[in-house]
Amino acid sequence: MTTNDTILIFDTTLRDGEQSPGCSMNLEEKLQVAAQLETMGVDIIEAGFAIASQGDFEAVSEVARQCRKATVASLARAAIADIDRAWEAVRHAAKPRIHTFIATSPLHMRVKLNKSPEEVLEAIQRTVSHASGLCPDVEWSAEDATRSEPDFLARAIETAIAAGARTINLPDTVGYATPETYGAMFRDMINRVPNADLAVFSTHCHNDLGLAVANTLSAVMAGARQVESTINGIGERAGNAAVEEIAMALKVRHDVMPVRTNIVSTEITRASRMVSGITGFQVQPNKAIVGANAFAHESGIHQDGMLKDASTYEIMTPESVGVSTSNLVMGKHSGRAAFRSKLEELGYSLGDNAFQDAFVRFKALADAKKAVFDEDIVALVDDEVLRGHDRIQVKEVEIHCGTGPARAILTLEIDGEEKTAATRGSGPVDALFAAIGELVPHDRGSLERYEVHAVTGGTDAQAEVSVLLSEDGRTTRGRGAHHDTLVASARAYVNALNKLMVKRGRAPVDVAAG
């Protein structure tokens, strides 16, 4: 265990977070997220599972080449081929790490691995030794640690450390633990394992019972000095412990948890919005730290207290997590200098061409809306960034609707060529999606979910739309933002189609004739 009071933040948004159904990211998006994670001060970025696919391998490799400050890790099963592939992917990183794992609970060893405890110990010794011979930084995880027998878990940890692991992760793989039992497990293992002082102990908590952050903090109090988590808590099933909640809990309650992290808290909201925009996973309004209502006060008693002293009802300031306290500061008369200053305040650094495109869209939005809020600008810029490399792009949307059948006239640019279709439907959205289906033939039954959210309040609010498409077991989420809900809908659907093509392996777009 480390003797200092710094908690290392291990972010697995790009690996475990991406395992949420429909939460896929392409290479460009993963590089954007990795860059923001570095800016936010994350210590270790788990970039993916290198052996899972060629796409995963390439993503891990590119993240490894890009990151200069953070350690970059790739996950690997307890298999030589996995470990070699992981090393090949991260070897060019400034600080590479191989993260290998094997199950240690009786249930997993019997049902999933079909191995005896002695065979598992042999696999740990063999694979961790191999990994440490390739990479100076090796992490070993005991999958399903919280349902493992303590005596065997201690033997497994001792074996991994003796073989060269210098980080020991004890994950609550199925979200089974409680704060008391999770903290007690760390305390027991740190005290019991003879060579425990040679390793950093790490947490990895899932949120099946809503206890992921509480369990993580309990383990920190018991001696863990690395925590594994994701932006917005995304991940398999109910998700993971949320980076932003852990970081701010440790910062605000330093009095009872006298430790620190390297997280730049003012970058938290920017990271949250980026991941939400890229994945299409909306952050619930009452989400701690980054939800829309996190710093909102409606009760008269609360408002009175806030006016007298904000600390009466706020235990942290909005500015401390990167939220601007001024909402309405931009309008149709704002110029380029003011717009660039606002983008910098919101955490964006755009090149000249991207800035010009964003400014043109901002002016169009300002003409259409009475008031432009920070949230509008974030949605506008993120929407443009998401579309930067899309092969199919929405050019024009025209809708006719009333008491009869709706009609849509849609123009898409597909691989540089504009195509137009006119279709009818039972409603405007149905007609619009039918037009997309005519221009880009695909199974329209693949649409599993269609959601519309208002970015801000008011009847002129900008709309943010997300859709979920599925094909042959693959799912993708698309997102679109616009002051016209139907344009946002077209953008979201087309964004999902573009991601679906990436999952197909970037095959040529199947375009309808005519």
Strands 96-103 and 226-229: unpaired
Which residues neighbour 107 within 8 Å (Cβ) at sequence distance 6 or greater? 144, 147
Strands 392-400 and 167-172: unpaired
Residue 130 is labelled as binding a ligand: no
**Positive or negative: CA dihedral 357, 372, 467, 410:** negative
Which residues neighbour 477 within 8 Å (Cβ) at sequence distance 6 or greater? 22, 23, 24, 279, 280, 281, 466, 467, 468, 469, 496, 499
Q: CA-CA distance, 469 to 460, in Å (whole number)?
A: 28
Q: List, as one string, the DSSP characters of 92-111.
A: TSSSEEEEEEEE-SHHHIII
Residue 302 is labelled as binding a ligand: no
Strands 406-414 and 417-425: antiparallel
Q: CA-CA distance, 475 to 504, in Å (whole number)?
A: 11
- Two structure tokens written together for 292: 């829309």
Cα-based distances in Å from 171 to 26, 101, 111, 261, 457: 27, 10, 19, 20, 41
Q: CA-CA distance, 455 to 216, in Å (whole number)?
A: 32
Query: Residue 210 phi/psi, 5° resolution?
Result: 75, 20
Residue 108 is labelled as binding a ligand: no
User: Which residue in 281, 459, 274 sits closest to 382, CA to CA?
Assistant: 274
Q: List, as one string, the DSSP characters of 328-342.
A: EEE-TT--HHHHHHH
- Two structure tokens written together for 309: 């002293």
Burial class (CB in 10 A: 0-12, 13-18, 19+), 210: exposed
Residue 400 is labelled as binding a ligand: no
Find where tokens 């221009």 sit: 439
Asked whether 280 and 287 are in contact (CB, 8 A), the reply is no
User: Which residue in 321, 380, 373, 372 sits closest to 348, CA to CA?
Assistant: 380
Annotated binding-site ranges for Mn(2+): 16, 204, 206, 240
Annotated binding-site ranges: 16, 204, 206, 240
